[in-house]
């Protein structure tokens, strides 16, 4: 019986050959030679990224930098919750309960994200997903309860796909799919709307209302939404509400960067 080699592995081999023989890559962060045709070297991954996911404590991913219990942002002077997520002390003011039950965020946008996200998304360096996927998997591996929950990629705008021809979140889940777990569950689709990055916080909160649709007949009881960066959390909320309406009881978010 012939063994079919996955396209993922073929691309990896071609990338390594191209980088090693024709066009050696340098690390975006330090400028030194990068291995395996990736835009980040192993030294920067170990020193700049792994410290944020090296803890086995879900409440504080990094002991030196306590995180918000809901959105995962690093707390400056707050306790337990950031200003946006903190329950109101005024009983007359009722906040709508978030549809996304909890959000896990890995790396800060200020500094790391500012250097990498624009290059990844605007310069078509798609091999970033190959560098980030093992970091996501490493975080999930440390928390078996999360590892057993299917990942739902946040769907891209159709217009974006037509213009660029690819989506960074879909690239991420393709790289994650080489691992036995977690399962990937593509159950959402998105209608065209104004890009969130062009809107204010207030506009973002309503921009996606009714624009996220279910693309599956049934949904599991618990799911994790996967996105690249969380700023206001509006995209995760819109996706989580669509899943809750469909019958999903628990929805979590997992983002590479937090702003």
Residue 186 has a pLDDT of 96
Structure tokens at 150: 């299917």
* Tens digit of each residue's pLDDT (9 = 90 or more) over 159-201: 999 999 999 999 999 999 989 999 999 999 999 888 888 888 7
Structure tokens at 88: 């109101």
Q: What pTM, to 2 d.p., does this model score?
A: 0.84
Give yes or no for residue 60 having a pLDDT over 50: no
Residue 106 has a pLDDT of 93
Residue 137 has a pLDDT of 96
Give yes or no for residue 34 having a pLDDT over 50: yes
Give yes or no for residue 253 having a pLDDT over 60: yes
Any domain includes 102? yes
Tell me the residue ranges of DSSP E strands in the chain: 102-108, 151-153, 188-190, 212-214, 222-230, 250-258
Residue 9 has a pLDDT of 54
* Tens digit of each residue's pLDDT (9 = 90 or more) over 81-114: 887 787 765 544 456 789 999 999 999 999 999 9
Give yes or no for a contact between 225 and 236, defined as CB atoms under 8 angstroms apart. yes
Query: How many degrees, rounded to 5, is the angle at CA 222 between CA 135 and CA 154?
Result: 55
Any domain includes 109? yes
Any domain includes 186? yes
d(CA 179, CA 171): 14
Structure tokens at 112: 């790391």
Which domain does 177 fall in, by range?
Answer: 56-86+97-258
Residue 13 has a pLDDT of 52
What does the mean pLDDT of the chain come to?
Answer: 84
The more confidently predicted of residues 235 and 19 is 235
Closest CA to 105 of 127, 125, 122, 85: 85
d(CA 61, CA 108): 12
Give yes or no for a contact between 257 and 103, defined as CB atoms under 8 angstroms apart. no
d(CA 235, CA 204): 8
Any domain includes 8? no
How confident is the model over 196-220, as a mean pLDDT? 87
Tell me how far the alpha carbon of residue 226 is from its chain's centroid: 4
d(CA 252, CA 136): 14
How confident is the model over 11-16, as a mean pLDDT? 56
Residue 32 CA: distances (Å) to CA of 13, 42, 92: 21, 10, 57
Maximum mean pLDDT: which of 56-60, 128-132, 192-196: 128-132
How confident is the model over 37-53, as a mean pLDDT? 89
Give yes or no for residue 57 having a pLDDT over 60: no
Residue 252 has a pLDDT of 97
Any domain includes 73? yes
% of the chain exceeding 90 in pLDDT: 53
How confident is the model over 142-163, as a mean pLDDT? 94
Give yes or no for a contact between 117 and 257, defined as CB atoms under 8 angstroms apart. yes
Give yes or no for a contact between 129 and 171, defined as CB atoms under 8 angstroms apart. yes
Any domain includes 37? no
Any domain includes 227? yes
Confidence of residue 5 (pLDDT cuts 50, 70, 90): very low
Give yes or no for residue 18 having a pLDDT over 60: no
Give yes or no for a contact between 156 and 228, defined as CB atoms under 8 angstroms apart. no
Rg value, the chain, Cα: 19
Lowest mean pLDDT among 80-89, 134-143, 214-223: 80-89
Query: What is the count of structural domains for the chain?
Result: 1
């Amino acid at each position: 019986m012939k063994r079919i080699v996955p396209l993922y592995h073929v691309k990896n081999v071609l990338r390594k050959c191209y980088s090693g023989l024709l066009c050696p890559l340098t690390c975006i962060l330090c400028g030194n030679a990068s291995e395996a045709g990736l835009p980040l070297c192993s030294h920067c991954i170990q020193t700049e990224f792994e410290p944020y996911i090296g803890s086995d404590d879900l409440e504080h991913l990094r002991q030196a930098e306590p995180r918000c219990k809901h959105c995962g942002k690093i707390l400056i002077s707050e306790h337990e919750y950031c200003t946006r997520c903190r329950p109101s002390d005024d009983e007359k003011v009722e906040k709508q309960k978030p549809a996304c039950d909890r959000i896990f965020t890995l790396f800060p946008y200020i500094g790391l994200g500012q250097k990498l996200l624009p290059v990844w998304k605007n310069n078509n360096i798609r091999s970033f997903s190959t560098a980030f996927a093992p970091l996501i998997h490493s975080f999930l591996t440390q928390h078996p309860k999360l590892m057993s929950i299917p990942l739902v990629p946040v769907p891209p705008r159709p217009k974006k796909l037509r213009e660029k021809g690819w989506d960074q979140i879909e690239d991420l889940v393709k790289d994650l799919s080489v691992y036995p777990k977690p399962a990937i569950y593509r159950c959402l689709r998105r209608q065209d709307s104004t890009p969130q990055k062009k809107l204010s916080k207030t506009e973002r909160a309503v921009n996606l209302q009714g624009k996220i649709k279910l693309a599956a007949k049934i949904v599991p009881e618990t799911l994790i939404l996967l996105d690249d960066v969380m700023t206001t959390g509006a995209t995760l909320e819109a996706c989580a509400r669509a899943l809750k309406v469909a019958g999903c009881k628990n929805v979590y978010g997992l983002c590479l960067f937090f702003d």
